[in-house]
């Protein structure tokens, strides 16, 4: 079956007759369909449609745009089960997780819809008499959105709904590992009544992504994906003077102190490290254990990790699904070999799973390395798979130093019973997000989301802060004095 691009409210084939296959990672014999391998000509059509739609869309009163976004949230709610199955089939995570992914988009839709009645600006006193100062948010224009496959609906929704709420139009290049979900997104926005051309989907690989970045009418790029790709995009956007917002990699640490509730910490580490098969930018990939509990916790963790039920995400008994594709499977196995060669101690997992039906998918064992040191590559580099690197800390200060010994800074967590440790960690951990007695995953739609160091470039999606990405400020001075008033000059002190 062939799926199409969504441009100017129409479903259209790619300009050149080129297609790519979308495969179920749990069973590679199952092809979901062929999707357009679009090029610059397809992008040209989509960007033109978005540019043409901008004038009218941006002038619709924001609360009316919000009403359409709210409707989209309702339709996501109605189609949740159907869409969860589509997502699981194309990207592998279990159904309970894909349902959560859609819920995050529903939450974001409702949040963005209500924000259209705020979008607050500031008014300030003027330094001159009979003059008024105000400021408000303006939309930017055509926004280019490029996203990853691990949250095929939630993460795009973090960008799409606020961008629309603010009055922008969109061209979205979704991941070629989760294109079917993107088409459902388009169907839902169409049904919700988002006018033709306001929202466009163009499928493809890096060629399509780069045509989007390069297009002169695209004023902003919002990207979620790898740090390597994000940096390349940022360089191009720098050269072209485009606004760019980047959500990139993570190497998120959990600290467990000796006064922690270890059962609680155990559940949190398992969920953080092996939820979504470790394929989250917020996944727990480093574990720092306070020396007095190190051996005991490692034992508890190994036992539970080795019992996780691995299988196809469509099977309700499955706790951890496959990884996304062959390339990623090989990359993760490569890191496991690197960890062993670097001298880390492999305490569980490490292998591909091929028993029975699993041989047709990209299944890996949950893998844990102990005695990892901060110079090792498995400590420093984002693996994006079910691999956890564990180390030992002699003290709280040592634990914080280890957590901060990273080139990334997205999420982090500490498990402790002590107010002193908790508050010191909130202050001292270098990361955009810190959880106290909770795992590194679990961001909510209405709070800022993003990270420091190699994770981001200073922007925050989610919550009110996302509007700093998708708007520009207009400052307005209204002088009703009827005469020339000179700021700074007429107000000089003697």
Active site (catalytic) residues: 247, 281
For position 442 contacting ligand UN1 by CB under 6 A, the verdict is yes
Q: Is the backbone of residue 488 left (phi > 0), alpha (psi -120 to 50) or beta?
A: left
d(CA 92, CA 97): 10
Per CB under 6 A, 280 contacts ligand UN1: yes
* 448 interacts with ligand UN1 by CB under 6 A: no
Q: CA–CA distance from 110 to each of 69, 72, 221, 396, 424 (Å)?
A: 7, 9, 24, 41, 35
Judged by CB under 6 A, the stretch of 37-45, 72-80, 274-282, 321-329 that binds ligand UN1 is: 274-282
Give the per-residue contact string, 361-390, with ligand UN1 (x = CB under 6 A; - = no): ------------------------------
Q: What's the rounded Cα separation, in Å, for the pair 458 and 471?
A: 15
Cα 305 to Cα 369: distance, rounded to the nearest angstrom: 12
Identify the sign of the CA torsion 79, 156, 206, 409: negative
What tokens appear for 394 in the block?
Answer: 């002699």
**For ligand UN1, which residue of 282, 285, 412, 457 counts as binding (CB under 6 A)?**
282
Conformational region of residue 92, where left means phi above 0, alpha means psi within -120 to 50, and beta covers everything else: left
Q: By C-beta, is 192 or 441 nearer to ligand UN1?
A: 441
Site string for ligand UN1, 77-106 (x = CB under 6 A): ---------------------------x--
Report the residue number, 442 or 448, with the smaller CB distance to ligand UN1: 442
For 142-172, the DSSP string reads EEEEE--SSSTTHHHHHHHHHHHHTT-EEEE
- Rounded to a whole number of angstroms, the minimum distance from the CB of residue 50 to ligand UN1 is 24
Which residue lies nearer to ligand UN1 by CB, 22 or 252?
A: 252
Nearer to ligand UN1, 245 or 282 (CB): 282
Q: Which of 58, 150, 229, 319 binds ligand UN1 (CB under 6 A)?
A: 150
Q: Which is nearer to ligand UN1, 219 or 280 (CB)?
A: 280
d(CA 427, CA 436): 12
From residue 174 to residue 213, what is the string marking binding to ligand UN1 with x (rule CB under 6 A)? ----------------------------------------
Give the span between the Cα atoms of 273 and 289, in whole angstroms.
Answer: 15
Residue 253 binding ligand UN1, by CB under 6 A: no
Residue by residue, DSSP assigns 194-224 as PPTTSEEE---SHHHHHHHHH-TTEEEEEEE
Stretch that binds ligand UN1, among 12-20, 84-92, 388-396, 435-443 (CB under 6 A): 435-443
Using CB under 6 A as the binding rule, whether residue 441 contacts ligand UN1 is answered as yes
Residue 25 vs residues 94, 196, 247, 296: alpha-carbon distances, Å: 12, 33, 24, 35
Query: Distance between CA atoms of 438 and 416, rounded to whole angstroms?
Result: 10
User: 422-440: b or e for each residue (b if 16 or more CB lie within 10 Å)?
Assistant: bebbeeebbbbbbbeebbb
The reply on whether position 270 binds ligand UN1 by CB under 6 A is no
Q: How many CB atoms lie within 10 A of CB 109?
A: 30
Q: What is the largest CA-CA distance in the chain?
A: 88
Residue closer to ligand UN1 by CB (options 142, 148) is 148
Q: Note whether 455 binds ligand UN1 by CB under 6 A.
A: no
Return the range that interacts with ligand UN1 (CB under 6 A); candidates 29-37, 53-61, 150-158, 254-262: 150-158
* Distance in Å, CB of 242 to ligand UN1, minimum: 22
Binding mask 299-338 for ligand UN1 (x = CB under 6 A): ----------------------------------------
Q: Report if residue 223 touches ligand UN1, rule: CB under 6 A.
A: no
Q: Quick one: which of 57, 151, 271, 297 contacts ligand UN1 (CB under 6 A)?
A: 151
Other Cβ atoms less than 10 A from the Cβ of 460: the count is 20
> In the complex, what is the shortest distance from the CB of residue 124 to ligand UN1, in angstroms, rounded to a whole number?
36
Residue 443 binding ligand UN1, by CB under 6 A: yes
> Residue holding tokens 């010994």?
405
* Integer CA distances (angstroms), 230 to 210, 224, 257, 264, in order: 11, 8, 35, 35
- From the list 84-92, 397-405, 438-446, 471-479, the region that binds ligand UN1 by CB under 6 A is 438-446
Interacting residue with ligand UN1 among 43, 140, 155, 403 (CB under 6 A): 155
Distance CA 175, CA 229 (A): 13
Binding stretches for ligand UN1 (CB under 6 A) = 104, 150-151, 155, 224, 280-282, 441-443
């Amino acid at each position: 079956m062939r799926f199409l691009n969504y441009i100017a409210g129409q479903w259209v084939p790619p300009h050149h007759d080129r297609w790519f296959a979308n495969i179920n990672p749990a069973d590679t014999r199952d092809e979901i369909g062929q999707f357009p391998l679009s090029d610059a000509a397809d992008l040209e059509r989509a960007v033109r449609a978005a540019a043409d739609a901008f004038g009218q869309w941006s002038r619709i009163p924001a609360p009316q745009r919000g009403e359409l976004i709210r409707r989209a949230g309702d339709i996501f709610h109605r189609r949740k089960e159907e869409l969860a199955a589509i997502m699981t089939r194309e990207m592998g995570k279990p159904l309970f997780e894909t349902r959560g992914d859609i819920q995050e988009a529903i939450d974001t839709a409702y949040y963005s819809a209500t924000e259209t009645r705020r979008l607050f600006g500031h008014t300030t006193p003027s330094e001159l008499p009979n003059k008024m100062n105000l400021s408000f948010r303006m939309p930017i224009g055509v926004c280019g959105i490029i996203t990853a496959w691990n949250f095929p609906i939630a993460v795009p929704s973090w960008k799409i709904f606020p961008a629309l709420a603010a009055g922008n139009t969109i061209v979205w290049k979704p991941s070629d590992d989760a294109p079917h979900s993107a088409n459902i997104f388009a169907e839902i926005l169409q049904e919700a009544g988002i006018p033709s051309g306001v929202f466009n989907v163009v499928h493809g690989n890096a060629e399509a992504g780069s045509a989007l970045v390069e297009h002169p009418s695209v004023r902003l790029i919002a990207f979620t994906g790898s740090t390597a790709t994000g940096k390349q995009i940022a360089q191009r956007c720098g050269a072209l003077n485009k606004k760019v917002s980047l959500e990139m990699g993570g190497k998120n640490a959990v600290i467990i102190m000796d006064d922690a509730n270890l059962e609680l910490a155990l559940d949190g580490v398992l969920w953080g490290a092996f939820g979504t098969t470790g394929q989250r930018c917020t996944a727990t990939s480093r574990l720092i254990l306070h020396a007095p509990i190190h051996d005991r916790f490692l034992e508890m963790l190994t036992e539970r990790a080795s019992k996780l039920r691995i299988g196809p995400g469509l099977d309700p008994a499955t706790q951890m699904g496959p990884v996304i594709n062959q390339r990623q499977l090989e990359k993760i196995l490569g890191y496991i070999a690197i960890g062993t060669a670097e001298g880390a101690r492999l305490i569980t997992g490490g292998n591909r799973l091929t028993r029975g039906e699993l041989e047709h998918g990209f299944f890996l064992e949950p893998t844990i390395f102990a005695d990892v040191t901060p110079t090792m590559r498995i400590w420093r580099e984002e693996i994006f798979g079910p691999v956890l690197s564990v180390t030992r800390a002699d003290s709280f200060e040592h634990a914080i130093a280890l957590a901060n010994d990273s080139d990334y800074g997205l999420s982090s967590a500490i498990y402790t019973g002590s107010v002193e440790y908790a508050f010191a960690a909130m202050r001292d951990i270098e990361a955009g997000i810190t959880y106290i007695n909770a795992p590194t995953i679990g961001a909510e739609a209405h709070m800022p989301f993003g990270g420091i160091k190699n994770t981001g470039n200073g922007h925050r999606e989610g919550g009110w802060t996302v509007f700093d990405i998708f708007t520009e400020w207009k400052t307005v001075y209204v002088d009703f004095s009827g005469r020339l008033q000179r700021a700074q000059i007429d107000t000089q002190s003697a």
